Each structure stands twice: as C-alpha cells, then as structure tokens.
Structure 1
Amino acid sequence: MARFAALLLAFVLALSPARAEPAAGGDLLLGLSAALTGPQLENGFHYLRGLRAALAEVNAAGGVGGRPLALVALDDGGEPARTLANTRRLLDEEQVLALVGYSGSASALAAVPLADAAGAALVDPLSGAIVLRRAGRLVFPLRADYGQEIDRLLEQIAAMGLRRLAVVYQPDVLGPAELAALDAALARVGLQESARRALPASNAGYPALAAALAAGQPEALLLATTGAASAGFVRAWRQTGSAAQLVGLSVLSAAQLRSDLGPAAAGIGIAHVVPSPWHSSQPVAGRYRLALKRYQQTDELHHAGLEGYLAGLLLAEGLRRASPQPSRKSLAAALDKLGRLDLGGFRLEYQPGQRKGSGFVDLSVIGSNGDFVQ
C-alpha cells in the first residue's frame, strides 16, 4: 500500500502543475477533480493514468492543430465540498476548456451548476446515475447508466434459470430513477424479488442484514454498493453460508473486492461499462494497452484506465471539431453535434438534447485466481 501511495503522489504531482490562464495558441487545457485519496482512490488513479496515456498519444501525433493537450488534476477525496472548490479553481483560475472524469454521483452533481454557468462541458462523470444524465445543459456521459447495467445483469440472472432475487443498495447508488428501472427490469424478465434493503451506514449492521436477506432464500443477490462497503457486506454474506449468485453494478469496484476479500471474491459477477482491457478484441483495447506501456511505462491494466483513455480520445475529437480556435463554447457545441463516433469498436452517440454516450455493458466473473472470466 505504501508503494501504491508513493506512485499515486508522484502521478498527481506530475499531472497538476501550477498554471496561469493559457495564452492563445498555447496548451489546450482540461481539468479533472477526482477521488485520489479515500475509498475510491484506485479507480481515480487508474482513470487518470489512462487519460494521461491518451493525451500523450494525441500529443505525440502533433496534438490538435499543433497545440498540445494538457491536464490539471486535483484530488477531492470523493467529497462534494472539495469538488466545488476544485471546480471553481479549474474554471476560474486555470481557465480549463472542459471538465472530465469527476468521481461519483454527488461530486459530479455538485459541479454541474458551476460547469453550466461557465459554459464548460462536463465529460464522462464516473457515475451511472440516471439523474446525472438529466442534470445541466452540458453533461456528456460516456458510460452506460445504472438502469442499463441493471437490465443486463437481470437478463443474465434469468438466463441462468434463477428466479428469486434479493437486492442490497446504497441510496446514493440507487436513487428513485434507478429503483424505477429495477422494478421495470424485474417485471420484464420475470424475476421475483425476495427482499430489497438499504445498506446500513455502519458495517456493524452488516451481519444482521446479511442474515435477514439470506433467510429469504434468494437464488441471486444484486449488490448496488460501492468500494469498502461492498467488501464488508460480502464478507458478512459469506458467513451466512448462502449459495446465492452475487452480482454487482460497475460501481462495486471489482479490483477492490479482489484486494480486500482475496478468495472470498471468487464467483461474484460484475457489470463493466467498457470492454475488457485484457481480453477484448476491440481495437481500442489494444491501443490502450500499447499507449499505457509506451507513455506510462506500465502494463498494469484496469477497466477505469480504459475508460480514462476513451475519455481522452473523445475530448481530442471534440477539440479537433472545435478548431481552429477551440473555446469552451465551441468545444461544447462540437460535442453536442458529434453524432455517432466509433473509437476503435467502442461506439458513442451525441445529438442535441440526446447525449446517449455508450450503452455498452459487459459482464465478467471474478475467478478463483482473481482474474476476470468473461
């Protein structure tokens, strides 16, 4: 962990130089506020690494109109109050052209009014919250939303011949729109819900909740929980002896489950909103692997890293279409009219008033050796 923290510190320092307002013809500056400390730091770290690889790849090919892309990255620890302060700095002091990769629903939602007021696009917030898709004028999601993830997971559960489903969730993951999507998906695929319970704020309540859910004899359990809370609840669930199939939304953080639970993570099914960085035949996955090795001197792959790489490619394309003098206004307009974009097999769509991003959802299972099995 100490080595990881040292790598993270060096990485953030490299990404966050002090900058004045860029002069015309200077760097094309982007801004990010993400959880680089706290429970969500792993996804933030790898996302930044992938984003940085994409920007370096674009710069190696001449940048956009001969101008390099640069990034100011700030840590907010996943705390909305710090996100607000960071966003004000990025927009007012650093004068970034767009914001990208904000971690979590609450932090991204906190930034939306500031981005709207400044006319800056908020690209690829790291959340599948449906409400975020409807917030503000300038939110450009890249990933599928939680409703689409729920659809895919429940379809798979039904295809396995399982019929009784229990659900445990955190309210900041499954809000009213997601719960409505869950109800619709249950009815569509014909699953019976044995119980639906919110996760207690304290992990001291996890064993009692796990026992109560297991008593309903579900054949599958949907986890709509995050980070360390997910690992804590799974640990309590394993103690019940239930053989129910565990599945989780992408916010579950499969990498953290593997790290925290070891062999106890085996068999958990996970939704992913980007292709497998290890196994996908999509050309963009191969490009990511090469760029990571060439520009970040590592072959440590991660789903969040591939998402960051895709976000970098998306922003580069938006800046090209906003040229010859990209501004906040012209970049947002270019993204809004992007239409259908194929990033090496990963397809996005943005139309005025219909910023769909991607509907891609993949599933994998954590294997006994910790690898993802497709």
Structure 2
Amino acid sequence: MNSFEAATFPLSSQPNRRQAISRVAGGLLAATGLAAPAFAQARVVRIGTTFDNSSVEKGNGTGMFLGSSAYFNAVNKAGGINGARIELVAADDQFKPEKAKANALAFAADSAVVAMLHPLGTRQAAEVIDAVPGMAVVGPNTGTVSLRKKNAPNAFWVRANYDQEIDKLVATAVTAGQTRIGIVYSNDPLGQSLLAGFKAALAKAKLEPAVVASTPGTTSMEVGPAAVQVAAAAPQVIIIGLAGTAPAFVKALREAGGKSNGYGISITAGSLSAMGELSHGLGFSMVMPSPFATKYEIVRRYQADMLASGNKDFSLPSLEGYVDACVLGEGLRRAGPSPTRATLLAAMERIEAFDFGGVKINFSRGNREGNQFVDVAVISASGRLLS
C-alpha cells in the first residue's frame, strides 16, 4: 500500500481492500451500496478531501461529504465534466491538525489529484492550505477571519466569515429587544476569532457583554464550568461559539438552571441532531440557504441529487458540501478537458459574479472570499427549521 492509499479511510464498518481505497467513483463511497456509472476508458480527475469521520466533528464532516458526494455522483451520471469522470477520495483526520496535514501531503503526492475540497476545522484547514500551496483548496469549513487574512492564493472560501455571522446574530437579538448578550467560546484559535468578532459586534451595537465564558478547546467536553457561569449571569441570549461540543454545553446549561436563549454559529448545525429536544428554540446563523428552501434552484437540485444518492436527510452541512462541490465543478469546467493544478487555480479565480441558483460566488485574482450570505434560523417546537 502506498502513502496515498494509507491516508484514505473506509466508511464501511467492515472494509475490504477495495473499500479501503475509499474512492468515490460517482461521488459515493462503496459503503452506500450504490453502483457507480459506467465509463469506458474514461479520463479520471481526482479530488481529495480530509475531514473528521470519527471524532467530535463527525456530524459536520460526514454531512459535508454526503453533499459533495451527491453532486459528483449526479455529474458522473450525466457524463462527467468535460468528458472526465470525477473521483472524490476521502481521508479521516479525526479532527487532528497533524493528520489533516499528513492527508493533504499524501493527496499532493498523487499527480491525479488536482484539488482539495472542504477541509474541516480552523487549524486543520490552515495545515491543509499550507501543505498544498500549488493546489486549489475549495470551501474550507471555517469562518476564522485571521486565516483569511493570510490571503493564501490557493484558498477559495465559499462561506461567509465568523465576524459576519456573529454580527448577524447580535443584530437579530437587538432587533428583538434582547440587549443582555453573552458568549461561550473554545479557548483556541477558533474561539479567539469568535470572541474578537463578538466584541466588535457588541461595540457596534454600543453594548457590553453580559457574560464571557470559555471551554478548554474545540474538542474538550469540559463544558460544565462555563455552563454554570452562564447560568449564574442569566443573559437574555448566549451565543454558543462551539461546534461538536455544543450539545454537551446546552445540556449542562439547562441542568444548571440556565434559561437563556441560545444562538449558535453555523458550525453548530452539524450537532443539532445530537441535541434532540434541546435544539428546540435554538437559533443559529446559516451561511447557506435552508436545505428545505425550495424557492432556491440550488436547493431543488441538491434535494434531487441527495435523493438519487439514497440520502433522505437534508441538512445544512450536506447542503454546504454540495455547494462547495458545485463551485469546484464550475472551476473544473472552466479549466478545460485536461485540468492541471495550475489551470484549475487560474480557472477558479475567474468565477466572478456567478449565480449557482440562489448562491452567488464572486472570486477574482485579488479576492478569495466568494460569498457573504448569512441568515438566521430557529428550530421550532416541532423540530422544523424556520428561517
């Protein structure tokens, strides 16, 4: 087994050698049980993706992957892109930055891999972007502003940044007459970025924080002390700057007697299913339209392609993964019939003011932040997503 194969992972609980390569011909892993389309002597273009498939961010990671897989499966059924079959190759980094870097380097060693798609996490995305400077990294799943300020020419951001998200959440709370607003964040680069955005948003609204609480880190389940601190301060709104650990925090907050309204950031969406009834009434920012908002053409295509791939559960993470794949797919079309890493990079920056069916992307040679869409949604008492 070479270094590339060692970096891939199976999603099947009982992988065989063929599954261990985790090759997504037609955009779906062998574990889904769906047949890949037939290509006679077709050219193959490979896309690498590294994300958490086994740790605290598994909900977000696998959600994004299901969406991007559904897109490439549909593309391949329609004949591929410029006649080439697209293979999406996945690697589990267990939400560990060093593993994300190792996976990226393994992908870079395979000349058939021309780009990387939606790495998950702030430190993970930073490692991936740095590890493959000559390869496009499309749709990193983080909104950390400091990472974007590095202006890496190979990073193409498909989601809004966290400052924009928190500004929208604070503005929504203020509009509703809620001015005692606090935040809980993880004490790491992600959390520090969120805290800075929170302070800026409050200053803009001429408010002071009702409470500022932190957890030890993005993956730390030690959320009890922060929950007790927030419950004691009793803010009207607590902005939950957590992702995979958000369910544990919300549960601890309610057990501590905290009755504050919770507003999560977009990466909270991947853990909503783990909250059960605790998610009811929770608001959160969205960097994509609702996956149920069929007034958007891209949502209708997403739903159809997900169903065709055997996935009936629509979610924000899978819609984001789908949109990331759409953006990369457009870059591949513009790169021509024999895309290289260099021609794809050049093609990506020519995606200017392009409407993907309700999501508009605007890149250029000097701009890698392609989308500023932010909305706020609430989980109703019946579990419905209302935006």
Per the normalisation by structure 1, the TM-score is 0.88
**2:357 is equivalent to residue 357 of structure 1:** no
8 Å Cα contact 2:349-2:363 kept in structure 1: yes
CA change 1:300–1:94 in 2 (3 A) is farther
| Alignment partner, residue 34 of structure 2 | none
Code of the aligned partner of 1:163: T
| Alignment partner, residue 172 of structure 2 | 156
SS in 1 for 2:361: strand
The 10-residue stretch of structure 1 (272-281 or 149-158) with the greater mean CA deviation from structure 2: 272-281
CA deviation profile, 1:171-207 (whole Å, cap 9, x unmatched): 3364555433322211222333122122145978533
Instruction: Give the alignment's Cα RMSD to 1 decimal.
Output: 2.5
- 1:117-196 matches, cutoff 5 A: 119-135=134-150, 136-172=152-188, 174-196=190-212
CA distance in 2, matches of 1:179, 1:311: 27
Code of the aligned partner of 2:251: R
Greater share of residues in helix: 1
Code of the aligned partner of 1:243: K
**2:74 is equivalent to residue 57 of structure 1:** yes
Shift of 1:251: 1.6
CA distance in 2, matches of 1:149, 1:7: 37
CA change 1:221–1:177 in 2 (3 A) is closer
8 Å Cα contact 1:173-1:225 kept in structure 2: no
2:104 to 65, 87, 92: 87
Code of the aligned partner of 2:19: L
CA distance in 1, matches of 2:223, 2:306: 39
CA distance in 2, matches of 1:8, 1:163: 52
CA change 1:175–1:230 in 2 (3 A) is closer
**2:237 is equivalent to residue 220 of structure 1:** yes
CA distance in 1, matches of 2:353, 2:140: 20
- 1:1-374 matches, cutoff 5 A: 6=12, 13=19, 16-17=22-23, 26-93=43-110, 95-116=112-133, 119-135=134-150, 136-172=152-188, 174-200=190-216, 206-227=223-244, 229-252=245-268, 254-259=269-274, 261-294=275-308, 296-374=309-387
8 Å Cα contact 2:221-2:248 kept in structure 1: no
Shift of 1:279: 2.8
Gaps in structure 1 of 5+ consecutive residues: none
CA change 1:209–1:300 in 2 (3 A) is closer
8 Å Cα contact 2:153-2:368 kept in structure 1: no
Shift of 1:275: 0.9
Shift of 1:217: 3.0
CA change 1:331–1:129 in 2 (3 A) is same
Shift of 1:14: 8.4
SS in 1 for 2:211: strand
CA distance in 2, matches of 1:208, 1:29: 46
SS in 2 for 1:82: helix
CA distance in 2, matches of 1:8, 1:292: 24
CA distance in 2, matches of 1:266, 1:353: 42
Pairs aligned (count): 359
CA change 1:176–1:233 in 2 (3 A) is closer
CA deviation profile, 1:64-94 (whole Å, cap 9, x unmatched): 2211211111111111121122111111036
Per the normalisation by structure 2, the TM-score is 0.86
